[in-house]
Amino acid sequence: MAEFTLDDIRRILRASAGVDEQTDLDGEDFAGTAFVDLGYDSLALLELVNRIEREYGIQIPEGDLAHTRTPFETVSYVQARLTEARVR
């Protein structure tokens, strides 16, 4: 099963929610910046969840990613779900 990285979040956000010209998804602070500060609202994050589920074949219980405020936290969460899926 594939790894999930910050590059995957960047790719999905660009494809599904777009990028505001003031948002720097390639900047050094990207990983630790809150999604809301990057300009992504709950609808954009819902699309992020839907694409992760489809592309990586995992289920993310409703509301789970609400506790991940930054791209880094999201990568950690998704990696844990992928690891769980491998063990099963």
What would the pLDDT profile of 10-33 be if each residue is shown by its tens digit? 999 988 877 776 677 888 899 999
Each residue of 12-37: b (16+ CB within 10 Å) or e? bbeeebeeeeebebeeeebeebebee
* Residue for token pair 């289920």: 59
For 44, residues 6+ apart whose C-beta sits below 8 A from its C-beta are 13, 16, 17, 35
Per the structure, how many domains does the chain have? 1
Residue 71 within a domain: yes
What would the pLDDT profile of 39-61 be if each residue is shown by its tens digit? 898 899 999 999 999 999 999 99
Global pTM reads: 0.88
pLDDT at res. 34? 94
Residue 58 within a domain: yes
User: Domain of 83: which CATH number?
Assistant: 1.10.1200.10
Residue 1 within a domain: no
Encoding tokens for residue 85? 């899926």
